Amino acid sequence: DWEKEAQLLNLNMITLTHLTKLYLPKMVDQKRGYILNIASTAAFQPGPLMSTYFASKAYVLSFSEALHNEVKSFGIKVSTLCPPATATSFFVNAEMVDSTLAKRKKMPTAREVAEYGYKSMLKGKSVAVYGFINKIMAASAGFTPRSLAVKVARKMIE
């Protein structure tokens, strides 16, 4: 549904960028500040059947990493939290309750992920990937053939 996808793109990219541009000048003037943007482990590879979501999260990651570099000399810390599938209503809203991803036995809670992101931001981490296996997956994304990454992502979403 185009309306849903447009809302997703607006929230994940346009609104995030707009809010950043609204608050950043005051942080620069004060020579301090924190920005925590929420991407996803989906940001590291293409995602068939959820292409708009995955692509929008890749935007968040790329934008935030670049911004981290641009403003660090002003004392501003920009972090990108990349959580995995998390125990929220996401799967119901995305109509993915029967997906392999949604059927994972142990998903972190939103609180666990939020606390990890907050602590990572305070430490000045540019990218914070929650969970050891997810960190390996994110790091290996650059070495994995894209055709394989797309196939694996599709299996997880189906």
pLDDT-derived band at 101, boundaries 50, 70, 90: low
Beta strands in 7-135 (DSSP E): 33-38, 76-82, 127-129
pTM of the model: 0.86
Predicted confidence (pLDDT) at residue 11 exceeds the cutoff of 70: yes
- Per-residue pLDDT, averaged over 16-23, amounts to 97
Rounded Cα gap, residues 21 and 64, in angstroms: 12
Specify whether the CB–CB gap between 32 and 76 falls below 8 A: yes
Question: Between these two residues, 107 and 60, which has the higher pLDDT value?
Answer: 60
* Active site residues per annotation: 53
Predicted confidence (pLDDT) at residue 99 exceeds the cutoff of 60: no
Share of the chain above pLDDT 70, in %: 88
- The one-letter amino acid at 150: V
- Per-residue pLDDT, averaged over 74-89, amounts to 88
pLDDT of residue 95: 60
